[in-house]
Structure 1
Amino acid sequence: MKKTVFKSKKQAGMTLIELMVVLVIGVILVYFIYPIARGWFETANRANLTSARDSYMQCINERLTSYSDTTGMNNDWAISRGCISASRVVGANMIKNSIGGTTTLSAATLTVANDAISMSDTGISTTLCTTYAADKNDIYDSISINGTVVKALGGTLNDATVTASCQQSASNNTVTFIKKKN
């Protein structure tokens, strides 16, 4: 009598259940890793923005201590004196900040005409907005977020007002710093 031998077929690939398990594990990993990575990018953006601001603040501080007032201090002035890196200049007089928005410099008044310089950064995300003002609190005399004063001349930074002033949508916040002439 002849024996029948069955050969087992070896599976060539993954079953649907195995594929679903791998997919679920991937989704769980992304769920936990994305917020961490996003925080890293926000921290890097804040460091880049702060570094750029510090480099041209030295040039601007020289003007604040050398001249009687801040008349004429604006983007054109800062660009023409080399205060702004050429890589940050767009067009004739627009200054690009490191997070994709713009920086605008202008003469400002705190107590008497043209006694300060105003620097406004646009394109600030909500996450960056809430920490950016606090990072520069000791350097600037007045700080506004989206038109709301969060630190008045001679005052302290109001954390509750900072949080409330930072819009809860994307990257459309404007932070304005004002530095008084010494």
Structure 2
Amino acid sequence: MKYFNKKQTGYTLIEIMIAMVIISIIVGGLIMGFKMLKSGANVDREAKKVSLIQASLVKYTTNNVDTQGIDTTTVINLKSVPDETILGGNKITNRFGGETTIAPDTLTNANDAINITNNGMNKEQCIEYGKTGGASYEVIKANGTTVKARTETKVNETINAACIVGTTNSVSFIFGKG
């Protein structure tokens, strides 16, 4: 009687499936990491843009009695934002796919403050972006909820509940005139 010595050549189906699962997990992790990195970069860039707008408006309002009449067009005319963010001559786009708006606001007396609002953020961007304001702004609101009052130096934990799942979040930075 003859016995054949069979040697396995190639990989079994189970080995191939295990390799595919491992590769899928690695690729998925890389994609998620890239998205988080990009989202964080958008938050940082938008925070810097808003800081430039604030500095420009503080200087502009130094000699003005109130902030009535200050709006998005004022900021565009002051050349406080990069040209590539201007849409149609009277709108400022943001890196979240939404819009940046500027309007008069009230801290103590009518029109004694300026409100810079960014919208179009998902929940994570809303939380991270809201926290970038810190002491630079007197009041910070997320979706209309005050998450930093004038007496606070940083954003409080209510921002986690104020920012909702979806891409409809807005954050407002409010500061007094110059």
TM-score class, shorter:
0.7 to 0.9
Task: Describe the superposition over 1:123-168 as per-residue Cα deviations: whole angstroms up to 9, x where unpaired.
Answer: 122112212222212100011101111122333545321111010x
Give the root-mean-square deviation of aligned CA atoms.
Answer: 2.4
Equivalent residue runs for 1:1-182 within 5 Å: 16-157=13-154, 159-167=156-164, 169-182=165-178
In the alignment, the residues of structure 2 paired with residue 30 and residue 68 of structure 1 have an alpha-carbon distance, to the nearest angstrom, of 57
Partner-residue secondary structure (3-state), 2:19: helix
Q: State which structure, 1 or 2, has the greater radius of gyration over its C-alpha atoms.
A: 1
C-alpha contact 1:73 1:106 (8 A) present in aligned 2 = yes
Offset of 1:55 from its aligned partner?
A: 2.4
How many residues end up aligned between the 2 structures?
174
TM-score normalized with structure 2 length: 0.85
SS of the aligned residue for 1:19 comes to helix
Task: Please report the TM-score for the alignment, with normalisation by the length of structure 1.
Answer: 0.83
Aligned residue for 2:134, secondary structure, equals: coil
| Runs (5+) with no aligned partner, structure 1 | 1-7
- Runs of 5+ unmatched residues, structure 2: 1-5
- Mapped to 1, the partners of 2:48 and 2:77 lie a distance apart of 20
SS of aligned partner of 2:131: helix
